Every structure is written in structure tokens, then in C-alpha cells.
Amino acid sequence: MTRPFAITIAALCAASAGFAVWARNMATPDFGEAHLDRPARALAVPSGTEVAVFAGGCFWGTEEAFRDLPGVIATQTGYTGGTLPNPTYQTSHQKSSGYVEATTIIYDPKKVPYETLLDKFFNTHDPTAPRPGSPDSIGRAYRSFVFAQSAAQAKTARSVIASLNKTERFAFPIATQVRPASRFYPAEERHQLYYAKRDEAAKCLP
């Protein structure tokens, strides 16, 4: 092989490799803002675990309160309680949507009972708001709910609420509503593990 011919072959190979890199880069999706605005994938529920869903104001803080609790396997923020299909952060906050910011908690009932999760939940926000006669300043998306996954969870939640009201632990009666579970839509990636990703203490907890 003559030297000029070898140089030509080498140049062609280099050009081909360069084109391959360019083509691969063009095919690689941009995981910037577009990725953060996509809904997270729904959590898998391992065998032997159970699910709890709570809405207690800003879901960033609610998730942060539960994610390191012993017995909790995974957490995820999202929207539930509404009627519009495929809600986003913007549409879920529309007054007519019916959605609230909520947190799904997958837990091992052998390590942490549902009652303990409820006790934690009522400590993460003011469950007495909005109060009769007071302005509804918290916003409809931040209302307090327990979305019971079973009749047993609903019974336990109502029992815990009744006990808390009797003890007068709060200055006003608890306004938290207990409802049957409805479809849970995972929030966008930017809202998952919000404080953990930023290594910050939760600012929307009491």
C-alpha cells in the first residue's frame, strides 16, 4: 500500500468515525428541562408491602418527612382526587380540577404500622385548616386528605382523627377528609425528592 493511499484510507476512516459520533449525539435525547417536566414513572409495589397516600399541603415537605422513616420503602409525589386526565403541576392547581398535591408511601407494615404513618402525617402540617369562618387561604391543591387504600385504612384513619380531636392536641377540630383512593398521577421529575436532590432541609413543614 502506497503512503498517499494509506493516508486517504485513514482520513476516510476518521471521517466515518466522526460522522458516527455526530449521528449518535444527534440521536441522544436532551435530558435538560424537558426531562424534568416529564411525569415520573409509577412506583412498583413489592410483595409484602402496602401503600399509603396522604395530602398535607406542599408535597415536597410531605415526601421529605416520610422518605427516611424506618419501614418506608419508597415515596413519590403526585396528584390525586381530581377528574381531569393526566394532570400536570399547572392544571392540577386549577380551582376546578379537584386535585390535591399528594404523596404515595410504600411501606413494610411489619416494620411501621399504618397508625405510625398517620401520626407522622398529622405532625407534618396543620390538619385543622381551612377552618369554618376563616378564609381558605391555603389553596385547594393543598387541602388535607387521607386517601384510604382499603376499608381497614379508612377505619383506622377515622379512629385516629377522633382520638386526636378528643385529646385536643390541636386548637381546632381536624379538617382532614378521609376518602377512598382514586387514581394517583406521579408528578413531574422536578418535583420528586425535591429537597433531597438539593441537600436542603424542608422549608414547607411546620
Active-site residue set: 58
Q: Which helix (H) or strand (E) holds 54?
A: strand 50-56
Helices (H), 85-147: 89-92, 114-123
Return left, alpha or beta for 115; rule: phi > 0 is left, psi -120 to 50 is alpha, else beta.
alpha
Alpha carbons 76 and 105: distance in angstroms, whole number: 7
59 within 8 A of 187, measured Cβ to Cβ: yes
| Phi, psi angles (nearest 5°) of residue 85 | -75, 145
Q: Any long-range contacts for 161-169 (C-beta under 8 Å, 24+ apart)?
A: 164/122
Q: Which helix (H) or strand (E) holds 23?
A: helix 3-27
Helix axis angle for 59-66 and 114-123, nearest 10°, is 130
Q: How far is CA 50 from the centre of its chain?
A: 16
